Amino acid sequence: MKKLSILFLVMSTGCVSYAQDIAQKDVPAVVVNAFQQKFPQQSVVEWELKRGLYEAEFEIKNMDHSVYLDSTGKIVKHKQEIAVSDLPSAVTASIQKNFSGYKVDDAKKIEVGNTVRYKVDVEKGAEERKVTFSADGKIEENKMD
């Protein structure tokens, strides 16, 4: 039991050190400026430092966003909550074909470089899945939640 407690302590400490909340004043000015230029309409910004990237979590028109920027202010990744009705028709068609009878619960658009993906939560009864689609509707990942 003592070994299990020590293992749990070590693992939870490692998870805590993975991400660190930081105040905006501690984020490099070049990063904050790049962020504010790209998202001037944002509100409620929370900053974290994760694996050398600055993550800004914020809202625009009540939709959640997460943006990861490097130390030069370059956007590396942008995740945004979107309405299900805003999914591309190819993704919607793929959901209808491959997940007939499932309810779409949540949708996100994820941009990494020039690549756009869509992550959708679908559920049917007690079964919940997280499915990632390419912009053309191909399933890239399908896992139980």
Give 46-97 pLDDT, tens digit per residue.
Answer: 999 999 999 999 999 999 999 999 999 999 999 999 999 999 999 999 999 9
- Please compute the mean of the pLDDT values over residues 19-46 and round it to a whole number: 93
Q: Where are the domains of the chain?
A: 17-80, 83-144
Which residues, in sequence order, are CB contacts of 145 under 8 Å at separation 6+? 121, 128, 129, 130
Q: Residue 21 pLDDT more than 60? A: yes
Percent of the chain residues topping a pLDDT of 70: 88
The 127-134 sheet, strands edge to edge: 19-22, 43-50, 53-60, 63-69, 75-82, 103-112, 115-124, 127-134, 139-144
**pTM: predicted TM-score of the whole model, two decimal places:** 0.81
Number of neighbouring beta carbons within 10 Å of residue 104: 18
Tell me, what's the pLDDT at 131? 98
Tell me, what's the pLDDT at 5? 39
What are the beta bridge partners of residue 145?
A: none
> What number does CATH give the domain 17-80?
3.10.450.360
Q: With respect to CATH, is domain 83-144 assigned 3.10.450.360?
A: yes
**Residues 113, 20: Cα–Cα separation, whole Å:** 24
Q: What is the DSSP-derived secondary structure letter of residue 71?
A: T
**Residues 64, 44: Cα–Cα separation, whole Å:** 10
**Does this chain's domain 17-80 share its CATH topology with 83-144?**
yes
